[in-house]
Amino acid sequence: MKLIDSVTRMSTLAGILRKEGKSIGLVPTMGYLHEGHASLIGAARKQHDSVILSVFVNPMQFGPKEDFDRYPRDLKRDARIAAEAGADIMFHPSADEMYPQRYATYVNVERLADGLCGSSRPGHFRGVATVVAKLFGITRPHAAYFGRKDAQQVAVIRKMAGDLNMGVKIKVMPTVREKDGLAMSSRNAYMTERERADAAVIYRALRKAESLVMAGQRSSRRIIAAMAQMIAGVPSVKVEYISIVDPEEMSELETVSSDAIVSVAARVGRTRLIDNIEVKG
């Protein structure tokens, strides 16, 4: 596996791969890889001649009081996992490479980026959309792979790629979970063993929502109330939001009428976690 930290080298190589008629799959990550990332690399491996993993803890998508500084980083470990999972290239630029002096350009996806995580993390999705636009420009992928755990991110990126006619297919892979259902996340590393055990209530609440919908419940208000009650039973887990939204537009649904995403953000100690589940009304 090739390690590349220069934007120019990466974009030159992507240009060569394109000229050779190679199909390129991109897996954009912030590193500290886990099985979820490995599954994205594996999915890309099956579809493309060249699989590029990008590892970049993007300062633009962190708020001033967020965890940019303490976000876990381990490039050596990432390189080992990426190579094992089947990546051909690990692109890991510095922030100065990505945002040189007098950087000025931002991509905004309106509406979809406003609710859910967008309201508690202002500017977050602007940072996500901008860095993904840049990564698409640098690596010229035919398709890019994302985990379903970040449902709003997926919706924002899919909208951006379509709206700006980027010609990149957005592929969404199932959330990979721990045995107790907790969604894999690099941020899980922040938690104590106790917090880690408590955090499993988030997925239990999502499964509760699923079973309520399967039993015929269509009222978002009632489903959300049942979930909130369940999570309240674990006092270390503080709900930031529970929302039931349309998967494309991320707009709140009063009634679960067709496809919907039940989405949770919660804090366990200092750790902010998100998760979601798809339901069919």
Minimum CB separation of residue 136 from a second copy in Å reads: 8
The pattern of x and - marking residues 158 through 177 that bind a second copy according to CB under 8 A reads -xx--xxxxx----------
The pattern of x and - marking residues 105 through 124 that bind a second copy according to CB under 8 A reads xxxxxxxx------------
Minimum CB separation of residue 195 from a second copy in Å reads: 36
37 is catalytic: yes
Which position among 37, 48, 92, 124 bears the catalytic label?
A: 37
For residue 55, the Cα-to-chain-centroid distance in whole angstroms is 13
The 10 Å CB-count burial string (b at 16+, else e) for 184-196 is bbbbbebbeeebb
Nearer to a second copy, 112 or 144 (CB): 112
Site membership for a second copy, residue 249 (CB under 8 A): yes
Site membership for a second copy, residue 3 (CB under 8 A): no
Radius of gyration over alpha carbons of the chain, in Å? 19
CB 147 within 8 A of CB 176: yes
Nearer to a second copy, 21 or 216 (CB): 21
Minimum CB separation of residue 201 from a second copy in Å reads: 34
Minimum CB separation of residue 166 from a second copy in Å reads: 5
Q: Compute the distance between CA of residue 161 and CA of residue 178 in angstroms, rounded to an integer.
A: 31
CB neighbour list of residue 213: distance below 8 Å, 6 or more residues apart: 223, 256, 279, 280, 281
Nearer to a second copy, 84 or 163 (CB): 163
Angle, helices 220-232 vs 201-214, to 10°: value is 150
Q: Compute the distance between CA of residue 206 and CA of residue 227 in angstroms, rounded to an integer.
A: 7
Q: Compute the distance between CA of residue 249 and CA of residue 113 in angstroms, rounded to an integer.
A: 9
The pattern of x and - marking residues 198 through 237 that bind a second copy according to CB under 8 A reads ----------------------------------------
Angle at 273 between CA 178 and CA 184, to 5 degrees: 25
Nearer to a second copy, 8 or 255 (CB): 8
Site membership for a second copy, residue 19 (CB under 8 A): yes
Nearer to a second copy, 60 or 261 (CB): 60
Binding residues for a second copy, how many (CB under 8 A)?
Answer: 32
Pairing of strands 259-268, 271-280: antiparallel
The pattern of x and - marking residues 118 through 157 that bind a second copy according to CB under 8 A reads -----------xx--xx--xx-x-----------------
Torsion angles phi and psi, residue 176, rounded to 5: -90, 135
Strand partners, 25: 51, 143
Catalytic residue annotation: 37
Q: Which residues of the chain form contacts with a second copy (CB under 8 A)?
A: 7, 11, 15, 18-19, 21, 102-112, 129-130, 133-134, 137-138, 140, 159-160, 163-167, 249
